[in-house]
Amino acid sequence: MTPSGRTGGPGPAGAAGVAIRLCFEASPRLLVLVLLLSTAVSTLPAALLLIVREIVEAFTRAQDGRVTVWILVLGGLTALRVAMGAMLSVRREELTELVGITAEQRLLRVTGFAPLDRFDDPAWYDAVARAHDGVTWRPAAIAGILIEFGGQIVSLVSMVGVLAILDVRLIGLALLAGVPLLVQRRMEARAVYLARRGVTELERRRDYLTELLVRHDLAKDVRSYGLAAPFAGMHDAVSRRALGAVIAASRHSVARGLVAGVLSAVCLVVAYFLAAGQASSGALTAAELFLVFTAFSTLMNSTVDLFTIVVDIEEHAAYLTDFVALAYGEPPSAERGHAGAPAGGHAEGHAGRPPRVEFQGVGYAYAGGPPVLREASFTLLPGEFAVLVGRNGAGKSTLVKLLLGLLTPAVGRILVDGADVAGLGPDRLRDLIGVLYQEYGRYEFTVAESVRLGRADRPLDRDRLGFALEAGGLSRVVEQLPRGVDNPVGRMFPGARELSGGQWQRLALARVLYRDAPVWVLDEPTAALDVQAEAALIQRLRAERGRRTVLLITHRLETAQAADRVLVLDDGVLVEHGSHEELVARGGSYARLCAEYAARQST
Ligand SMILES: Nc1ncnc2c1ncn2[C@@H]1O[C@H](COP(=O)(O)OP(=O)(O)OP(=O)(O)O)[C@@H](O)[C@H]1O
């Protein structure tokens, strides 16, 4: 079940469990220290109250010496309480921050490893948005509340003890006074949560519109088409709709709050009358009457705080439904790894000989859509340089995603040296195949860091970096940067130099070259390259023949002429394959593509 399908939530106990687990993951030592400090700080108010009683009693009996001693003790304990309170607050803050970081790390790992097809599901985006909403502070808030909970229990028990000595009836009244407030708070929290859940999509739309106005790759479009005002207007409308829904949900909260306040006040008034009656009958001294009033209101507040804690945890638990489902649910397949033996072979890989890649009757359709690939069967021979061509939407990029194991064939198998890709596991596949996607990443790091992402699991190899930059056609560009390979690129961070479209593509290509995998899959690698850079790349690919198996996707048919073999995909069907000359002579799909291409080039 996808997290988006859940509405029940982990419940207060489940959320508390998650928070405690995160505290332990964050720092067990800090957790213990904070708990000890919290307990110590919470026991002091009751002790201080009893000392006040001693002072008043000593004063009424004119025992000046005792009064002085107790006042000094009171002063000492008050100072201690302030000091411990300050320490508690600092350490608690540290713990909650660490819990926030730990929780966000969990979520980032889950979303970073999620199967690619999740990104086709709007409900997945809703679930991630909700999980992300508050992930840095809600688990931390629960942890903080739990720590407070321990303190509140200690404080409540000590006040119950004080009242038990003086008038046991008041304990029940103090506890009762909290109930209306609890009910009111709970109804309020639930209504707001349900309203906010209902507007997740609106909030995502709002965030998307914000992004459209701050993304530098869209800045030119936005200005040239005058889109800033319409986007800002849409943002305003969507934000107001979301806000309206949340406000509507809390419409009755003032009335409910008034009723709850009156009911609580009734309990307080009854309790004070009872205590005053005791004092006038002589059962309580003036000091004890003062003590009763103070202990009652403290107990009542502690009760309300305790109830509030439960409601707060319940509220956070509701908001954490999607986080818990994502972070503690079934791990995504990529993270689970593939411990089992690879099906149908072992793909030992690059030991001297590049691998063979086979598509056997592969079919695929995106969820709810028509077949995009039908019965595709072909073999890339070890060390072969093959080119895949076809019209827009023919299914070329889908084929690449299937080969990289990002999508799973609906029918058929894909084998690398006899091993089914489905059983190889992401690490092995990454070792075997270096890929350049059409939409490659533009990472705003230094040149060296960006290229090293090709082998992010290993320390930077400066020699390989030099080779990759040279072979990728970036050496001259890098030489002109003030800090060379250690210069940041992009425009978001200080000292960074923006690259041209073609230079970004060369950087992405350098990443693939740095990876040094025995199979290269390059989807439109020359789309942004100038003629010279394109020729250099093709020359390099030809030089790699026999050492690497290369599949290159392109719309530039000159490139196809340089390849050993051309594969032609038409509407999801692999209609032809052979050398450029053979296919032209055949007069089929490829020949028609070439004719159209030549006509376009000559106009
Ligand atoms: N994530 C997706 N969800 C649903 N349909 C998709 C998705 N990605 C691609 N398609 C559809 O699959 C078909 C093949 O797309 P694909 O990107 O594989 O084509 P392509 O041959 O690489 O095209 P191009 O030359 O334009 O890059 C298209 O009709 C497209 O609409």
pLDDT tens digits, residue range 15-53? 778 888 888 888 999 989 988 888 888 888 878 888 888
> Which pLDDT score is estimated for 10?
64
- Model confidence over 282-309: pLDDT tens digits? 888 887 888 888 888 888 888 778 777 8
Per the CB < 8 A criterion, the answer to whether 559 and 388 are in contact is no
> Which pLDDT score is estimated for 133?
78
DSSP 8-class letter at 417: T
- Atom index in ligand 1 nearest the CA of residue 373 equals 14
What single-letter amino acid sits at 313? I
- Model confidence over 558-579: pLDDT tens digits? 888 889 999 999 988 999 999 9
Of all protein residues, whose CA lies closest to atom 31 belonging to ligand 1? 393
Among 35-44, 84-93, 239-248, the minimum mean pLDDT is found in 35-44
Q: Is 596 close to ligand 1, i.e. is its CB under 6 Å away? A: no
Cβ neighbours for 491, distance < 8 A, ≥ 6 positions apart: 216, 444, 498
Over residues 529-533, the mean pLDDT reads 82
Residue 602, pLDDT > 80, answer no
Over residues 376-398, the mean pLDDT reads 93
Residue 591, pLDDT > 80, answer yes
Per the CB < 8 A criterion, the answer to whether 584 and 594 are in contact is yes
This prediction has a pTM of 0.71
Order of strands across the sheet with 357-365?
371-380, 357-365, 411-416, 419-420
Tally of CB atoms within 10 A around 11? 15
* pLDDT band (50, 70, 90) for residue 352: low
Cβ neighbours for 54, distance < 8 A, ≥ 6 positions apart: 66, 70
* pLDDT band (50, 70, 90) for residue 345: very low
Separation of 374 CA from ligand 1 center, angstroms? 14
Higher pLDDT, 190 or 361: 361
> Ligand 1 pocket test: which of 117, 396, 402 has the largest number of ligand atoms within 8 Å of its C-beta?
396
> Which pLDDT score is estimated for 465?
95
- Atom index in ligand 1 nearest the CA of residue 438 equals 27
SS3 384: coil
Higher pLDDT, 210 or 133: 210
> Ligand 1 pocket test: which of 118, 362, 364, 398 has the largest number of ligand atoms within 8 Å of its C-beta?
398
